[in-house]
Structure 1
Amino acid sequence: MKRLYTFFTDDLLFSLSLLVALISCAFGRFSLDSIDFKVIFCLLGLMLLVKNFEKLGILTYFADKMIDYSANTRSLIRNIVILSFISSMILTNDVAILTLMPIYLTIIKKFPEMENKVFGAVLLIVAANLGSSFFPFGNPQNLFLFSYYSLSTLIFFKWSIVLLFSSTLFLLISFLFIKKSVIPTQHTLIPTINKKKTVFLSMIGGLILLGIFNALPYYIVIPIAVIILTVYDKELLTQLDYKLLGTFIFFFIAVGNFAQVELLSSFIKVQFTTSTRTFFGSILVSQIISNVPAAILIAPFTDQAQALFWGVNVGGLGTIIASLANLIGFKLYKEYYPTQSKTFLWQFTAVNLVFLLFFLLFFAFIL
């Protein structure tokens, strides 16, 4: 009983998602179609790949390089946040966070007295969410809306350039709140990397990306990659955060069940009739069920495609569940700093609400 109690209380987010999923089964019929297996498979593959990179010392190598290229702590955080912002446009927000957060956390482990550590981690997640909105394939909600409304490439970029401009402006302003401190001189040598193993893992990473970008069937290439990585190092398979995968599965089940509630569908039909209502309403719904399910839930009931596009992308800011990428960032931070969960959640919520307020004011003059 004690072990069972520890299992559920150790990760309250996992336990809460399980409870909500069970409650939701009373409102809708459970279906495996509610679960986005592509997200689950890709997460599993990427988590295992990052663990292999970490064990090989590649994360430490890139962390040391990033430190060398930074003049002070502000430029250090700024550099990795900008890298997150740009890379998420192509790699998607989930992949950018899974790749860069461990590097950032490896960096700050070297400087225990460094200020703004949590703020930097939060900005990295915010930047990934915002940067991923620029391309149709940057995040799942954009890919869905691009296909559902049959948007032309020109129209899409007319909408996304507004988000890109405002996001860049707000991120640049946020850097001013990071204290400038001298980075202590490193006395440790930059580790040498096994090139053959690095090339091998990079090829497996490329295989996983082909699955993510639908160049090859994910349900074939991801399992193949997982099997290869497992054979390569069996021990790492036991070190993965399976509760994170469970949280995503329970979350998908809950959203799928609640979407079947007729009262909820009727409410959406009435509320999402204008651009203003759709924008603010999609942000609100995103805070409760996350922006990807919000886009899927609202799209069939409104023709306000532009407002919905802006709303669900901005809606990734706010609560920890507003974007599934937020959960990934939180879980990674908790893995490195298990005693700082409350501090992270407090700062995450505060920073996200400030960003969200800026966007609300910005788009109030555009809609």
Structure 2
Amino acid sequence: MHTDKLKQEIRSILKRDMVLNISIILALVSSLFFRPRISYIDFSVLGMLLSFMLVVAGFRQLHVLEKVADILFSRCRSTRHVAAVLIWLTFFLSMLVTNDVALLIFVPLTLITGKQIRLDVGRIVIFQTLAANLGSACTPMGNPQNLFIYYHYGLSTGYFFSVLGPLSVLSGLWLALLVHGLPNGELKLEQRETETGLRSQILLFTALLLLCFLSVAHVVSPLVCTVVVVTVVTLTDRSLLKLADYSLLLTFIGFFIFIGNLSHWDAIRQLHHYLHHARGIVYVTGIVASQFISNVPAAMLLAGFTRNAGELLLGVDVGGLGTLIASMASVISYKLYAAAYPHQVMSYLRMFLFYNFAGLIGIGSIVYWWMVR
């Protein structure tokens, strides 16, 4: 009975996750030509992804971030102030809790708030999506591709921030400009009072989050961090183990095997040499590939061909702008908005593409001429 339930769950994940299917197919097909090895799988990356997933799931269960939003809303004096809180919270929190989690928390909050006061909900959700994708690019733990590149290349924290620091500044300026253009109407907002979990639980998960940060800073081993986080979560709230995104972990394993297998192919070695020496090619390729296969698989595929970690970081993070599938976090906010406003989907998509490609062309060009060329 237990086995049947597990099989049904696996089938369900495979049906709804196309990227996972692709990674498994690529791993299986490439394994017909090259012998796969367990050493291809980077367990440090998988462990840290799982650790962050569990810690963030704990914070979501405790409603800590919603409480922070309530406190900030109580100080707002206009509709633009409310929109700014929703957008900037998404921007800064995505640096800590990943872009998809930030959107899962704050987009529903936008949809609820939009029913209480006159807000341009569609535009704000799009700006939140931009904020999540750009904000998450600022830190190693902000999104899966950053965490993968950070550990795959063994980057130092100083080097990481030296590469993405200028992008963070550009992102902040772009968002400030967008927020300034929002309507500034009179505010009549009902005060909400969100109940958070026990203070002891909040302190416990704060300690686990700090442990994850220490691992990212290379102070604590990723293996030690993962063991501690999984053990504490298992002992305190086992239900959180069900909330981790295991399909993402399986996707990473599939791409690890595929990339490892391809590394033995002579043509790939020649491509590796070309991408290593051609300036700007990795950056542009990262952006273009992200538009069609999303930035996480784009990062993993290109990492097998180049040692240019800086250009790859910039390419896949800037590449999160553009099409709806360039970043899977964008799909999350789209689905949430479409469920609430099904008759305004086409209007949302047109506006989404306009602002995303404006950001992609503007920020992408500046980054190229300033940092890559």
Is TM (by shorter chain) over 0.5? yes
Residue in structure 1 matching 2:47, options 35, 41, 44: 41
Deviation at 1:17, TM superposition (A): 3.1
The aligned residue for residue 225 of structure 1 is: 229
Distance 1:267 1:232 in 2: 49
Give the secondary-structure state (helix, strand or coil) at the position aligned to 1:111.
helix
Which ranges of structure 1 fall in alignment gaps of 5 or more residues?
A: none
Q: Does 1:297 align with 2:305?
A: yes
Deviation at 1:317, TM superposition (A): 4.0
The aligned residue for residue 32 of structure 1 is: 38
The aligned residue for residue 265 of structure 2 is: 261
Q: Retained in 2: the 8 A contact 1:282–1:298?
A: no
Q: How does 1:114-193 map to 2 (within 5 A)?
A: 115-116=121-122, 118-132=125-139, 139-140=146-147, 143=150, 157=162, 160=164, 162-175=166-179, 185-191=189-195, 193=197
Q: How does 1:62-73 map to 2 (within 5 A)?
A: 62-72=68-78
Distance 2:85 2:41 in 1: 36
The aligned residue for residue 251 of structure 1 is: 255
Residue in structure 2 matching 1:16, options 9, 15, 22: 22
Distance 2:40 2:182 in 1: 41
Give aligned-pair identity as a percent: 24
The aligned residue for residue 212 of structure 1 is: 216
Distance 2:213 2:89 in 1: 18
The aligned residue for residue 245 of structure 2 is: 241
Which ranges of structure 2 fall in alignment gaps of 5 or more residues?
A: none
Deviation at 1:192, TM superposition (A): 5.4
Residues 70-108 of structure 1, C-alpha deviations (whole Å, 9 max, x = no match): 44554445445445555666x5xxx44366334314523
Name the amino acid aligned to 1:215. Answer: V
Residues 49-81 of structure 1, C-alpha deviations (whole Å, 9 max, x = no match): 223223233233123224334445544454454
Q: Retained in 2: the 8 A contact 1:21–1:250?
A: yes
Deviation at 1:169, TM superposition (A): 3.2
Residue 257 to residue 179, structure 1, CA distance change in 2 (3 Å): farther
Residue 338 to residue 271, structure 1, CA distance change in 2 (3 Å): same
Distance 1:139 1:5 in 2: 29
Deviation at 1:232, TM superposition (A): 1.0
Q: Retained in 2: the 8 A contact 1:73–1:181?
A: yes
Residue in structure 2 matching 1:111, options 102, 110, 113: 113
The count of residues paired between Structure 1 and Structure 2 equals: 349
Q: Does 1:196 align with 2:203?
A: no
Q: Retained in 2: the 8 A contact 1:81–1:127?
A: no
Residue 235 to residue 334, structure 1, CA distance change in 2 (3 Å): farther
Give the secondary-structure state (helix, strand or coil) at the position aligned to 2:305.
helix
Deviation at 1:219, TM superposition (A): 0.8
Residue 71 to residue 60, structure 1, CA distance change in 2 (3 Å): same
Residues 284-314 of structure 1, C-alpha deviations (whole Å, 9 max, x = no match): 4565542355345312xx7xx8756644553
Distance 1:25 1:349 in 2: 38
Distance 1:345 1:31 in 2: 43
Name the amino acid aligned to 1:194. Answer: L
Distance 2:301 2:358 in 1: 24
TM-score (norm 1): 0.73
Give the secondary-structure state (helix, strand or coil) at the position aligned to 2:105.
helix
Residue 240 to residue 168, structure 1, CA distance change in 2 (3 Å): closer
Residue 347 to residue 207, structure 1, CA distance change in 2 (3 Å): farther
Q: Retained in 1: the 8 A contact 2:325–2:331?
A: no
